[in-house]
Copies of this chain bind each other. A is one copy, B any other.
Amino acid sequence: MPEQHLSKAKLILVDQDGVLANFESGFYAAWQAAGHPHPALPLEQRRSFYVRDDYPAALRAEVEAIYTAPGFYRDLPAISGAVEALTTLLEQGHDVRICTSPLTQYRHCVPEKYEWVERHLGAEFVTRMIVSKDKTIVHGDLLVDDNPQIKGPCTPSWQHVIFDQPYNRQVEGTRMNWANWRDVLAL
């Protein structure tokens, strides 16, 4: 479809993991590499937003060990089409920010989120990062996020657009991916 310029520049908050960074493929590969007897769950079988909720409760420590390990966040691959879409949105004049919630175990996660953005989107994009557990406190027109239920004490100014993933399809709402985002966001 032809490039479509939106009628008005928007402030678009984009979540990082599960939207830009491929947390799922990173977890799957690391779980397999760890040699756990419990099989890694393919993305299409994931049903809960938090991966730990899709594995047996007895394996919670093993699950957390995967994504709290040094290098896990840094080395996540990019989700196909994400980098190109963000670049296009900026070119269209929109103000794009990365709005990401850190793990409670912040030690590796937080600096590696910054490294990831620098590597995949460039140093200028690092200045566009907002790291906050609470996304309702962040102003925006749109929030593109794979978490289908974003909670917080403030009344958000943004409209939530669900980034489509197998684990969030039980929730109704506007949803998009990096193949159809032009159609959805142009609404």
Contacts and interface: CB of A to CB of B under 8 A. Distances in A.
Q: Report the contact-size class of chain A (Cβ under 8 Å from the partner).
A: 20 to 34
A107 B102 CA distance: 15
Q: By DSSP majority rule, is chain A's interface helix, strand, loop, or mixed?
A: mixed
Interface in A125-151: 126-134, 137-140
Contact of A114 (B97, B106, B128, B153): B106
Given A127-B133, A130-B131, A132-B132, 17 more contacts: A11-B137, A11-B154, A95-B153, A97-B134, A102-B114, A104-B123, A104-B126, A106-B111, A111-B111, A128-B133, A129-B132, A130-B137, A131-B131, A137-B139, A138-B138, A139-B154, A139-B157
Interface of A: 11, 95, 97, 102, 104, 106-107, 110-111, 114, 123, 126-134, 137-140, 153-154, 157
Shortest 10 CB-CB distances between A and B: which pairs? A131-B131, A130-B132, A106-B114, A127-B133, A111-B111, A137-B139, A110-B111, A110-B110, A139-B154, A139-B139
